[in-house]
Amino acid sequence: MLGSDFYQRDDVVTISRELLGKVLCTGIDGALTRAMVTETEAYAGVGDKASHAYGGRRNKRTEPMFSEGGTATFTSVMAFTICSTSSPTVSARRMRF
């Protein structure tokens, strides 16, 4: 199991690479679900022009990126984002299964 300290490191590319091959497990409504991470993307926060949080934009979609490292949110059926905040950096990784 990966603790929040895993996600609170500064090197977003290294974190994304290390997530490849990991298995995400959930226990929603008593049903165990597992999926292997097969693709990742790294966004380095407010200074990264590719990030939705670029320039400090805060809205419903970006708010999880400003949360504690390890906060997870589903953005669509195809992608899952784990936010990795290491203050003052706001960053995120998007994973596909």
Which pLDDT score is estimated for 40? 83
- The C-alpha atoms of residue 26 and residue 6 are separated, in whole angstroms, by 18
The domain of 78 spans: 4-96
Q: Count structural domains, the chain.
A: 1
DSSP 3-state assignment of 1?
A: coil
**In CATH, what number is assigned to the domain containing residue 15?**
3.10.300.10
| Dihedral (Cα; 76, 43, 63, 3), 10-degree rounding | 90
Regarding pTM above 0.85, the answer is no
- The C-alpha atoms of residue 34 and residue 42 are separated, in whole angstroms, by 22
Residue 88: pLDDT band (50, 70, 90) is very low
Residue 93: pLDDT band (50, 70, 90) is low
pLDDT tens per residue across span 45-87: 788 888 777 888 888 877 777 777 777 776 665 555 555 544 4
